[in-house]
Copies of this chain bind each other. A is one copy, B any other.
Amino acid sequence: MSNKNKNKIFKPRPISGFLEWLPEVRLVELQWLDEIRDAFESYGFGSIETPSVEEVEVLVAKGGDADKEIYALRRLAAEPGEEDSSRLALHYDLTVPLARYVAQHAGDLVFPFKRYQMQRCWRGERPQEGRLREFMQCDIDVIDMDEVSMHFDAEIPAITLEMLHRLDVGPVCMHINNRKILQGFYEGLGIEDIVGAIRIADKMDKIGVEGVLDGLVEDLGIEEDIAQKCVDLAAIKTNDETFAAQVRAFGVENDMLEAGLEELMFVMLELAHLEKGSVMADMSIARGFDYYTGTVYEGKLVDYPDFPTICAGGRYDNLVGSYSNKKLPGVGISIGFSRIFSKMIKEGRVKIGAKCPTHLMVACLPGTPRCEVSGTARALRDRGFKVEMYHEEKSLKAQMKYASRKGIPFVWFPANSEQPKHEVKDMDTGEQVVADLATWLP
């Protein structure tokens, strides 16, 4: 680094796909994160964090689309051929790190292992609405030895909906399906390339009914009436367990289909106590190429139907199996925190207030000995208030302007020679009253 360069000014600009908030927005973001943590913990889920990086082999072990979005690390001053850092890459979700964590630490964990994880993830994709390159994700998952209770398949969306309700993001609908229904139905229809067919049907949102029919018939050589049944299945959406009768009405007979219907009915019945419209059995949900093997979830903001999915997940029987010989199935959900929060900010649905957490500013006026000011601040802090002293020796006007611009609700004037009692000013009403240091309450 030359000295010449040191004196140059580099004018920074926002980096596309990476969020950064002003302090007043960050204050609300912190409240949201606290609320989420509290919701997860109220159901006994415990926190874990994993490193931001995994070995590249771990990240690509499950296969799938995400590979090409992975950010690998390279030391800026790497020697040619330096291997060490190039085998590390930033994680793109929290599910793969969880699977690796459980495989690695299985002997030290108590099962069923219930964890939440709130961390940043990174994807090198083209930024667009709802798609970020760095984002905070909040996940809950349950992993158990050999078998996971189906009750968790119902509890996971219930916790998620309760948490989103606490954040006041407006109505949310959790669309629920079961991969066994799709797989069994397609199998029962005699379709050979089931993965290929699900892949095409899953694009309904993008290519429409005609596109899906064309794809099934032309790309996979499926007969038209069979293809039509696939499309008709995807149209079944009910707020209760009546979807099963509609599916059975096709007359497709298959054991896996039946198992899927039973599982989804179980989940829908367990969630029957939730607010009407907050859960929907939706036969169009497939979750793409992912590792899911049973229940699948996709949550949507009802007020913004075109906005991408805000949370998604499901049951996976084999994910930990990429890293371990043990059978460790799981079920969980990922909540796109940054996606939801930035949408609510953009729509003006978040109330932005103060620019700092301070409850009280202690003013520092001429005539008040400094030790009196700092002693007052300390006494209020000891009582649990968030207190700052005004340190500059500036006019009362400048100090009040600072408190007002920061949104500090109260200003405290310590006793001094001219004013024998403490006084406190309510910045909202402008009222200033005598106050007792030991007993004052806002």
The answer to whether A73 and B75 have CB atoms under 8 Å apart is no
The answer to whether B85 and A322 have CB atoms under 8 Å apart is no
A60 contacts chain B at the CB level, 8 A cutoff: yes
Known: A10-B322, A41-B357, A110-B405. A73 touches B90 (CB 8 A): yes
Q: Measured between C-beta atoms, what is the minimum distance from A354 to chain B in Å?
A: 8
Known: A18-B53, A42-B381. A73 touches B72 (CB 8 A): yes
The answer to whether A108 and B22 have CB atoms under 8 Å apart is yes
Residue of B nearest to A132 (CB): B51
* B-chain residues with CB within 8 Å of residue A405 when the two chains form the complex: 110
A250 contacts chain B at the CB level, 8 A cutoff: no
The answer to whether A51 and B12 have CB atoms under 8 Å apart is no
A11 contacts chain B at the CB level, 8 A cutoff: yes
A134 contacts chain B at the CB level, 8 A cutoff: yes
The answer to whether B105 and A22 have CB atoms under 8 Å apart is yes
* B-chain residues with CB within 8 Å of residue A30 when the two chains form the complex: 47
* B-chain residues with CB within 8 Å of residue A26 when the two chains form the complex: 46-49
A235 contacts chain B at the CB level, 8 A cutoff: no
The answer to whether A6 and B62 have CB atoms under 8 Å apart is yes
> Could you say which of A112-120, A198-206, A307-315 contacts chain B?
A112-120
The answer to whether B77 and A70 have CB atoms under 8 Å apart is yes
A406 contacts chain B at the CB level, 8 A cutoff: yes
Residue of B nearest to A67 (CB): B1
The answer to whether A9 and B321 have CB atoms under 8 Å apart is yes
Q: Measured between C-beta atoms, what is the minimum distance from A184 to chain B in Å?
A: 22
* B-chain residues with CB within 8 Å of residue A191 when the two chains form the complex: none
The answer to whether A74 and B74 have CB atoms under 8 Å apart is yes
Q: List 9 A-B contacts (CB under 8 A).
A: A6-B62, A11-B103, A12-B54, A22-B108, A42-B381, A45-B356, A71-B74, A73-B73, A110-B355
The answer to whether A76 and B89 have CB atoms under 8 Å apart is yes
A208 contacts chain B at the CB level, 8 A cutoff: no
Known: A46-B357, A48-B21, A71-B74. A64 touches B1 (CB 8 A): yes
The answer to whether A75 and B124 have CB atoms under 8 Å apart is yes
* B-chain residues with CB within 8 Å of residue A71 when the two chains form the complex: 73-76, 85
The quantity of this chain's copies bound in the complex is 2
The answer to whether B325 and A50 have CB atoms under 8 Å apart is no
Known: A75-B72, A112-B392. A324 touches B44 (CB 8 A): no
The answer to whether A114 and B388 have CB atoms under 8 Å apart is yes
The answer to whether A324 and B58 have CB atoms under 8 Å apart is no
* B-chain residues with CB within 8 Å of residue A58 when the two chains form the complex: 10, 12
- Leading 4 A-B pairs by shortest Cβ distance: A44-B388, A1-B63, A68-B77, A18-B51
A152 contacts chain B at the CB level, 8 A cutoff: yes
A109 contacts chain B at the CB level, 8 A cutoff: yes
A246 contacts chain B at the CB level, 8 A cutoff: no
Q: Which of A102-136 contact B (CB under 8 A)?
A: 103-105, 108-110, 112, 114-115, 120, 122, 124, 134
Q: Measured between C-beta atoms, what is the minimum distance from A376 to chain B in Å?
A: 14
Q: Mark A66-105, 1 if CB is under 8 A from B, else 0.
A: 0111111111110000000100111000000000110111
Rounded to whole angstroms, the CA-CA distance of A89 and B22 in the bound complex is 22
A19 contacts chain B at the CB level, 8 A cutoff: yes
Rounded to whole angstroms, the CA-CA distance of A71 and B51 in the bound complex is 15
A61 contacts chain B at the CB level, 8 A cutoff: yes
Residue of B nearest to A65 (CB): B1
Apart from A12-B100, A15-B54, what are 6 other A-B pairs with CB-CB below 8 Å?
A5-B60, A12-B103, A15-B55, A44-B357, A73-B73, A110-B406
Q: Which of A334-383 contact B (CB under 8 A)?
A: 355-358, 361, 381
Q: Which of A387-442 contact B (CB under 8 A)?
A: 387-389, 391-393, 402, 405-406, 408
The answer to whether A47 and B23 have CB atoms under 8 Å apart is yes
The answer to whether A120 and B9 have CB atoms under 8 Å apart is no
A32 contacts chain B at the CB level, 8 A cutoff: no
The answer to whether B76 and A387 have CB atoms under 8 Å apart is no
Residue of B nearest to A46 (CB): B356
Residue of B nearest to A357 (CB): B41
Known: A46-B357, A73-B72. A134 touches B388 (CB 8 A): no
Rounded to whole angstroms, the CA-CA distance of A126 and B419 in the bound complex is 61
